Amino acid sequence: MIDIRYPMGGMFTILGVILAAFGLFSDPAIYRVHSLGVNVNLIWGCVLLVFGVCLLVLARRAGKKRAGRHVEDR
């Protein structure tokens, strides 16, 4: 059975990359007008990217631990 952290981690990672790229390549003038000069898209894109990668790492570690348990049981 697939760990739910794999699809969720992939979704958050992809969304984080898209949002961070949009924040990185967008016109800085829109942030001066709408968000007090803070590039919110870049910041939240990086947050989502880190969260998604953490989910993927945790799912991979749990999968290795689970696979090791099945080998020891035999």
Residues 6+ apart with CB under 8 A from 67: none
Q: What is the pLDDT of residue 70?
A: 61
Cα separation values, 34 from 15, 23, 70, Å: 22, 13, 55
**Domain locations in the chain?**
5-73
For residue range 14-70, list pLDDT tens digits in order: 999 999 999 999 999 999 988 999 999 999 999 999 999 999 999 999 878 777 766
pLDDT level of residue 1 (50, 70, 90 thresholds):
confident
What are 42's two structure tokens?
């870049």
Q: What is the pLDDT of residue 7?
A: 95
Q: What is the pLDDT of residue 73?
A: 53
